[in-house]
Structure 1
Amino acid sequence: MTETKKIALVTGANKGIGFEIARQLGQQGIIVLLGARDQGRREAAIQQLQTEGSEVVGVALDVTSQTSINAAAALIDTTYGRLDILVNNAAISLPAGRAIAGELDIDVLRATYETNVFGPFAVTKAMLPLLKRSEAGRIVNMSTQLGSLSMLSDPDSFVAKAPPVPAYNSSKTALNALTVAFASELHTTAIKINSVSPGFCATDLNGHRGFMTAAEGAKAVLPFALLPADGPSGGFFGSGDTVPW
């Protein structure tokens, strides 16, 4: 079965956009490894998607714990022997991070980076051996236009006019930089990696203030999880369009 079906790991997939990405990948006939650290929420999400007919398997995964990441990689290796798609979706935006830079608590910045930057880096690094065994490995780093330095520095941009969230915004800028670094390293392989902004979706992350649904945001991600061989790598995209760095 796993010889013909693609295998995808989605981090932070028990709710929000991550859950919708898992759902839409499952609807494509892909085996979805639903990564989440909370066992109860993970199992509830799995049950819902399985009821809908998707082939979903839970993976205990805390992206801030190297031990948890290593265990997840070992489980995937033992069970499937490879990984075809990795979606680094898990992220946080702490209420205390909604302040101007000069008033931002450094511990809030550190905590944000632990999940939003160091987490995706550690997960990607751990999963690379498995992705290299895929005929066409794909990595999607979930980003945001709020991480675009070009847009943040343009006083006429809607991004620059948004309330200050320097911890979250800068963490996504850093994640974009890691996307470029991994793309450069992997350019001679079949693996493609891109940053993708799903748009301003209503989720727990932003207090459900977004004007798009999580399902709509997930639709922007699917094409990059399923890129053809001639697809881009090392780019920053949103709903099919290029986002400026």
Structure 2
Amino acid sequence: MPKSPRTQEEVEVVKEQILDTALQLIIEDGFNNLSMRKIAARLDITATTIYNYYTGKNELNLMIYIRGFEILYGMMREKRDDCDDPARRVEGMIRAYVDFALAFPDYYDIMFNMHTPKYSDYIGTDMEPLAFREKQIALKCFEIILVEIREMTGTVATEVEEFFHYTTLRFWSDLHGIISLYNSRVLYEVDEGSDRILARRVDDLVLSLLQLKEANESGNLDPTYHPIHPAGGSE
């Protein structure tokens, strides 16, 4: 008798297994060395079977990004929704970002460190619509905290948008730096108290962001100042 078709639940399980295996192979060998044959060999199935679920390595790459950013956004949104105070929401989302990076280091590495194709690489290809979807999900993770930083300072005028955009990028880059040093174990090689160093640096970054609120309340925040063009610098 012919085999019964898989249930939807069984299909999802197989797709997850393929995606998880692709993730591990990218971490081990890089995206350029990923192939359906290697995934099939790891799962003890045929490459043809994989094509029943995914069109190829580029779809797998984008689906890994989508899944990772959906998890990250969900964790950040949960912290945002936990309280009404914008400053506490900002702090919660920063700590959620760190929790994601430590709980899902392979995803974090692919999403933020490894050289894999991004949206711009797929423009003009069959993968462009899926790549656009991935980019929109990724941008939500940036925008959710940008909105809260604006609200925390109580300043939402469009003419100071560059200030908030740059400030969010600056703190993100600082946070990413310490996380990458920690996850790669480079930080441990420098200081065996790497857990303590990470926690302290995250606390420092949270405090620095919260000081924006204090500066605004005391009248010392100048959101019209553009850090990209310091005073006395050229426009």
Decide: shared fold, TM above 0.5. Answer: no
- Structure 1 or 2: larger helix share? 2
From the CA coordinates, give the structure whose radius of gyration is larger. 2
- Structure 1 or 2: larger strand share? 1
